[in-house]
Amino acid sequence: MQQKGEVSKFALQVDEEHKATELRLLSAAGPHMRAFHLAWLSLFTCYFSTFATPPLLPVLRSHLHLSPVDVAHAGVASVSGIVVARLAMGPACDLVGPRVASAALALLTAPAVYAASAVSSPTGFIVLRFLAGLSLANFVANQYWMSSMFAPGVVGRANGVSAGWANAGSGAAQFLMPLAYSCILRLSGSPSFSWRAAFLLPATLQVVGALAVLAFGQDLPDGNFVSFSRSQEKRSLRKPTSKEGFWAVVADGLGNYRGWILGLTYGYCYGVELAMENVVAEYFYGRFGLGVEAAGLVAACFGMANVVSRPAGGMISDAMGRRFGMRGRLWSLWVVQTVGGVLCVLLGRMSSLGASMAVMCCFALFVQAASGLTYGVVPFVSKRSLGVISGMTGSGGALGGVVIQLLFFSGTKYSKETGISLMGVMVLVCTLPVSLIYFSQWGGMFCGPSTSENDDLEEDYHLLK
Q: What is the pLDDT of residues 9-45, one digit of tens each?
A: 788 888 888 889 888 998 888 899 999 999 999 999 9
As a whole number, mean pLDDT of residues 197-220 equals 95
Query: Looking at the domain assignment, is residue 255 inside a domain?
Result: yes
pLDDT for 228 = 59
pLDDT at 106 over 90: yes
Query: Looking at the domain assignment, is residue 347 inside a domain?
Result: yes
Which tens digits make up the pLDDT trace of 217-235? 998 888 887 665 555 445 5
pLDDT for 233 = 47
CA distance 57 to 283: 11
Which tens digits make up the pLDDT trace of 287-314? 988 888 888 889 899 989 999 999 899 8
Asked if residue 266 and residue 174 are part of one domain, the reply reads no
3-state secondary structure string, the chain? CCCHHHHHHCCCCECCCCCECCCCCCCCCCCHHHHHHHHHHHHHHHHHHHCCCHHHHHHHHHHHCCCHHHHHHHHHHHHHHHHHHHHHHHHHHHHHCHHHHHHHHHHHHHHHHHHHHHCCCHHHHHHHHHHHHHHHHHHHHHHHHHHHHECHHHHHHHHHHHHHHHHHHHHHHHHHHHHHHHHHHHHHCCHHHHHHHHCHHHHHHHHHHHHHHHHHCCCECCECHHHHCCCHHHHCCCCCCCCCCHHHHHHHHHCCHHHHHHHHHHHCCHHHHHHHHHHHHHHHHHHHCCCHHHHHHHHHHHHHCHHHHHHHHHHHHHHHHHHHCHHHHHHHHHHHHHHHHHHHHHHCCCCCHHHHHHHHHHHHHHHHHHHHHHHHHHHHCCCCCHHHHHHHHHHHHHHHHHHHHHHHCCCCCCCHHHHHHHHHHHHHHHHHHHHHCEECCCEECCCCCCCCCCHHHHHHHCCCC
pLDDT for 460 = 45
pLDDT for 15 = 83
Query: Looking at the domain assignment, is residue 192 inside a domain?
Result: yes
Query: Looking at the domain assignment, is residue 421 inside a domain?
Result: yes
Which tens digits make up the pLDDT trace of 319-362? 888 888 889 989 999 999 999 999 999 999 998 999 999 999 99
As a whole number, mean pLDDT of residues 183-191 equals 92
- Pick the most confident of 69-78, 175-184, 234-243: 175-184
CA distance 126 to 388: 30
pLDDT for 227 = 64
pLDDT for 216 = 94
- Is 164:372 a contact under the CB 8 Å cutoff? yes
| Higher pLDDT pick, 266 / 151 | 266
CA distance 326 to 334: 12
Asked if residue 254 and residue 175 are part of one domain, the reply reads no
Asked if residue 120 and residue 34 are part of one domain, the reply reads yes
Asked if residue 258 and residue 131 are part of one domain, the reply reads no
Query: Looking at the domain assignment, is residue 188 inside a domain?
Result: yes
Q: Which region among 71-80, 133-142, 221-230, 292-301 has the lowest average model confidence (pLDDT)?
A: 221-230
Q: Alpha-carbon dihedral of residues 52, 54, 58, 60, nearest 10 degrees?
A: 60
Confidence class for position 434, pLDDT limits 50, 70, 90: very high
CA distance 105 to 140: 11
- Is 175:298 a contact under the CB 8 Å cutoff? no
Amino acid sitting at position 417: E
Query: Looking at the domain assignment, is residue 267 inside a domain?
Result: yes
Instruction: Look at residues 165, 197, 215 and tell me which one is the last residue of a structural domain.
Output: 215
Asked if residue 261 and residue 132 are part of one domain, the reply reads no
Asked if residue 429 and residue 360 are part of one domain, the reply reads yes
pLDDT for 452 = 55
pLDDT for 413 = 78
pLDDT for 461 = 45
Average pLDDT of the residues of the chain? 85
Task: Give the distance, in angstroms, between the CA of residue 160 and the centroid of all CA atoms in the same chain.
Answer: 10
Length of the chain: 465
As a whole number, mean pLDDT of residues 274-290 equals 89
- Using alpha carbons, list the distances in angstroms from residue 437 to 51, 260, 305, 334, 460: 34, 10, 29, 11, 17
What CATH number should be reported for the domain holding residue 203?
A: 1.20.1250.20
Domain count for the chain, please give it.
2
Look at residues 53, 82, 52 and name the one whose alpha carbon lies nearest to residue 70: 53
pLDDT for 242 = 44
pLDDT for 246 = 60
Q: What is the pTM of this model?
A: 0.83
Instruction: Look at residues 196, 215, 234 and tell me which one is the last residue of a structural domain.
Output: 215
- Is 138:210 a contact under the CB 8 Å cutoff? no
Domain of residue 311 covers 244-465
Q: Is 456 exposed, middle or buried (CB count within 10 Å of its CB: 0-12, 13-18, 19+)?
A: exposed
Asked if residue 193 and residue 52 are part of one domain, the reply reads yes
Asked if residue 382 and residue 323 are part of one domain, the reply reads yes
Asked if residue 251 and residue 107 are part of one domain, the reply reads no
- CA 321, 325, 329 angle in degrees (round to 5)? 50
Instruction: List all residues 6 or more positions away from 29 whose beta carbon is below 8 Å from its beta carbon.
Output: 10, 11, 12
Asked if residue 206 and residue 113 are part of one domain, the reply reads yes
Say how many C-beta atoms besides its own lie within 10 A of residue 256's C-beta. Answer: 18
Query: Looking at the domain assignment, is residue 239 inside a domain?
Result: no
Asked if residue 398 and residue 309 are part of one domain, the reply reads yes
* Helices 306-324 and 292-304: angle between axes, nearest 10 degrees: 20
Query: Looking at the domain assignment, is residue 433 inside a domain?
Result: yes
Asked if residue 286 and residue 360 are part of one domain, the reply reads yes
Start-to-end C-alpha separation, the chain: 13
CA distance 227 to 233: 11
Amino acid sitting at position 9: K
